[in-house]
Structure 1
Amino acid sequence: MPAPVPRQRSASVAETATGSTGSTTAGTGGDLTVLVIEDDPTGSFSVPELPDTGGARVRVRSARNLTEAERLLTDDVHCVLVDLALPGAGDDDLATLKDVLRLAPRHAVLALTTSGDAERAAEAVRVGAQDHLFRDELDGRLLNRTVRYAVERKRADTAQMKLAESRLRAQENARLERGLLPTPLLQGSNLRFAARYRPGRSRALLGGDFYDTVRTPDGTVHAMIGDVCGHGPDEAALGVELRIAWRALTFAGLCGDELLSTLQQVLEHERESDEIFATLCTIDIAPDGRRAGLCLAGHPSPLITRGGRAERLLPYESGGPALGLLPRARWPRHQVQLGGVWGLMLFTDGLIEGRSGPGEKERLGDEGLAAMVNRQLGAGLDGEALLESAVAEVRELNGGDLTDDVAVLLLSRGTEPRG
């Protein structure tokens, strides 16, 4: 039989539950409540007199079995003290302790045994208890210190577990979002590709903007950039669906109005609300690289750079509506001449809707972007360096971070990138 604890002070359930303060998140400098699970025939657990610690006390509630313990295990209990002498199920002499650990996953748990059972006490800590106490060595100061240490250790373990889980979720989300970002398929093409992507959502890698670039077997290079209205995860998911659908339809041979009409059907089936729409710009560049077909669905026209100058690519006023606005809309495909040496910058409106300067009310707009890119071209920038500088300057002109998603890609022919 376990050795009895010296009965210097007894505290019954009724006495300790009434007026107990604190909670499982209370600081360890205040009162703490301990739930003792012990098969004591008297129905109470004797607690040694605790030292005076500035008025702080350890209060005790007693339970004779797990059923009673579950009823008494309220939020103001900080620690559970389990008597290892309680009979367990089957041959497992730690069965009761394991049941308590499952019953009270957010609470500190202590094992109570005798000094002659040190091996089982150590095993109790290995299976999840914060610490153990020996009945025949127990006094008030030791009980006070051990309970407070156990509560603090449990809190630290819980915080560390939550931090690890948060980091794991962040890593998994990052891997997922990186996997959803496009990988350009341009094998066999002499065109150079660069892109920058910055979602408006804090700590996100993916927003409602989307883009892609592929080369089909006939040598045509197809590029696309789009923007789903809104900035949340649902919009980001819809953007990924539209991008994947665009790539599949492009490899299937669709182009121009036929392609955009099919994408609108995808949008209508997948969107959360009839109010959701998406703008889109598609361009297909002939195998010789000197001409292209352009379609606009409510989207800003690309910039074309030639001879160190940037200008909007015509026709920028004769596109069709955004996808999802009109059920039987049409999107004309316009032939444009590119020439021998050129660069095409496709972008979403997040790049042009920022302020034209710190404190200014006027938006940067298409013309402001063209002027800014001309300054950067004059400074000798192109490729990756041009896009990096453009996004950085747009943010600087805005006077801080942009609230909208930003996607911009650059296809160029006939020049060596310096980025």
Structure 2
Amino acid sequence: MPMHIPRPRAVPSVESDPAADLGAWTYGAPAEEAPRPQETADAAPSAAPANPHAVPPAGDDALPEDPHHHGTRPDDPCRDDHVRQADPHHEEHPSPENPASSAPVAEKAPAPAPLTLLLIEADPGGSAVVSEILASDGRPVRVRTARNLTEAERLLTDDVNCILLDLDLPAPGRTAPSEDGAAEDELAVLKHVLRIAPRHAVLALTSSGDAERRGPEAVRVGAQDYLVRDELDGRLLRRAIRYAVERKRSDTAERRLTESRMRAQENARLERGLLPTPILDGSLLRFAARYRPGRSRALLGGDFYDTVRTPDGAVHVMIGDVAGHGPDEAALGVELRIAWRALTLAGLSGDDLLTTLQKVLEHERHSEETFATLCQVDIAPDGRSAGVCLAGHPPPLISRPGEGAHLLPYEENGPALGLLPDARWPRTEMWLGDAWSLMLYTDGLIEGRDGNGQGERLGEDGMADLVRHHLAAGLSGEPLLRETLAEVRSLNGGELTDDVAVLLLERG
């Protein structure tokens, strides 16, 4: 017959019934640690061998002393666990008697992060009351207490989630509430807190006598909600705190979204207004242009262009590119375009105009390293000839019936504006003919990839091939520019990174 080895009791002088011992063993640890199995065996070397089918006691998990007990109890709720530990090959199968053995264990939902509440309360007992109310709900809320606004500013750190403000606090600059209530702003203390804590949620705490009057007014001024002091309880206060925090987050996100939309609309109106309107009244030339800035969500980049017909009938067309990307470059491009139009209408052209335009750039640029390239074409009143000036810019592309598209000669290309103080820009005269198309562009159009898998630039020659292909297909004007840009983006494998401006003048 197997001998049971008793476990030493935690409190030997107190006897308890087996049922009580069983409950303590199942749900709580004994007051003192019981001897380990090996220690028990050493203490009783003459004990008979244990029953191989019984589960030996193990430390704190040993069964309480029971003179009628051998091994595990049949009704022991932890019996199966001990069997599994004793037999590593034991495999549990669902059964009608134990349907929960096959049920998946539900994962415990993570506890909400503790909130930090800043209580601004003149009453020294107010903090204890609020802490006691919150503690009664059993969920963690850290409470900081400030007796006045000066102390509140010191305790107001980024980890504070919500402010509970007593509206009966003295107004800023006062040590006690004014006896003449009509002579002061009743919400002055709230307005002060909203100024020093614009990013924090605020709950207004008011007394029951004026809650219906001051509470809604506090919300109108900027508090997330108001509470009545006499009606506080743990559940209401905790829910109000979390509601105020979430409402503040929502209000802040909505305000930022509205501000972002307004800025985008203002920028869109501004940038559209800064794009040029060609002055071609009375001219037989047809004009088309495409513009795409490289900056994300921008309407205007550092590229610029313009077209003006002067009183003598000549048409002057210009396209340029300020080096760099960003609002400073975009602003400088607008200034150069406006200056070019004013100088052209004043009668300047060629080298004289570009020399003056360089002075404008030198005075308006934000860095001495900023420069701009430019191409200017002056078309004679009859439309059959033109003069071309290049300032570090790619040459125009001309096409005539039966000739296809080719680049204009650019051996006389001058330096970019802003590089050399005494630079000169020679003018090249050329014959256009009766019918022609002239395309001016910025380098963003030719710096994309050529699509052959080698990662090489498209270049002027590759761009000319694309235009020839579309001209052979019968395209002209706006459709020609649209399809050319679409194919350049397709060859590049996506959007182009640089600003792109392309304009087209056609005759005949």
Q: TM-score of the superposition, structure 2-length normalised?
A: 0.73
SS in structure 2 at match of 1:410: strand
1:322-361 to 2 correspondences below 5 Å: 322-361=416-455
Gaps of 5+ in 2: 1-109, 172-177
- Which position in structure 1 is the counterpart of 2:158? 75
1:129 paired with 2:212, answer no
1:61 paired with 2:154, answer no
- Which position in structure 1 is the counterpart of 2:277? 183
Higher RCO, Cα 8 Å, sep 6+: 1
Higher strand share: 1
1:99 aligned to which of 173, 183, 192: 192
Contact 1:359 1:399 in 2 (8 A): no
1:392 paired with 2:486, answer yes
Distance 2:111 2:202 in 1: 15
2:117 aligned to which of 34, 39, 43: 34
- Which position in structure 2 is the counterpart of 1:230? 324
Distance 2:350 2:192 in 1: 65
Percent identity over the alignment? Answer: 73
Distance 1:271 1:128 in 2: 44
Q: Shift of the alpha carbon at 1:163? A: 1.1
2:204 aligned to which of 111, 114, 129: 111
Counterpart code for 1:319: N
| Greater alpha carbon shift after TM alignment, 345-354 vs 199-208 | 199-208
1:240-279 to 2 correspondences below 5 Å: 240-279=334-373
Q: Shift of the alpha carbon at 1:412? A: 0.7
- Which position in structure 2 is the counterpart of 1:382? 476
SS in structure 1 at match of 2:366: coil
1:168-317 to 2 correspondences below 5 Å: 168-307=262-401, 309-317=403-411
- Which position in structure 1 is the counterpart of 2:129? 46
Contact 2:397 2:407 in 1 (8 A): yes
Q: Shift of the alpha carbon at 1:40? A: 0.7
Distance 1:170 1:28 in 2: 40
Q: Shift of the alpha carbon at 1:410? A: 0.3
Distance 1:309 1:115 in 2: 91
Contact 1:35 1:73 in 2 (8 A): yes
Q: Shift of the alpha carbon at 1:51? A: 7.0
Q: Shift of the alpha carbon at 1:239? A: 1.4
Q: Shift of the alpha carbon at 1:358? A: 5.0
Distance 1:84 1:328 in 2: 72
Matched pairs, number: 387
Distance 1:241 1:129 in 2: 47
Structure 1 segments (4+ residues) deviating >6 Å: none
Counterpart code for 2:208: S
Q: Shift of the alpha carbon at 1:197? A: 0.9
Q: Shift of the alpha carbon at 1:32? A: 1.0
* Structure whose alpha-carbon radius of gyration is higher: 2
Q: TM-score of the superposition, structure 1-length normalised?
A: 0.87
Q: Shift of the alpha carbon at 1:49? A: 3.7
Q: Shift of the alpha carbon at 1:305? A: 1.6
User: Structure 1 residues 259, 64: closer, same or farther in 2, change over 3 A?
Assistant: same
Q: Shift of the alpha carbon at 1:52? A: 7.9
| Greater alpha carbon shift after TM alignment, 308-317 vs 227-236 | 308-317
Counterpart code for 1:204: A
SS in structure 2 at match of 1:44: helix
Contact 2:407 2:464 in 1 (8 A): no
SS in structure 2 at match of 1:305: strand
User: Structure 1 residues 362, 94: closer, same or farther in 2, change over 3 A?
Assistant: closer
Contact 1:51 1:141 in 2 (8 A): no
Structure 1, residues 207-260: CA drift from partner, whole Å, max 9, x if none?
A: 221111011111111000111222222222221121111111101100111111
User: Structure 1 residues 50, 66: closer, same or farther in 2, change over 3 A?
Assistant: closer
Contact 2:405 2:467 in 1 (8 A): no
Contact 1:109 1:129 in 2 (8 A): yes
User: Structure 1 residues 41, 398: closer, same or farther in 2, change over 3 A?
Assistant: closer
User: Structure 1 residues 113, 382: closer, same or farther in 2, change over 3 A?
Assistant: same
1:120 paired with 2:214, answer yes
User: Structure 1 residues 94, 272: closer, same or farther in 2, change over 3 A?
Assistant: closer
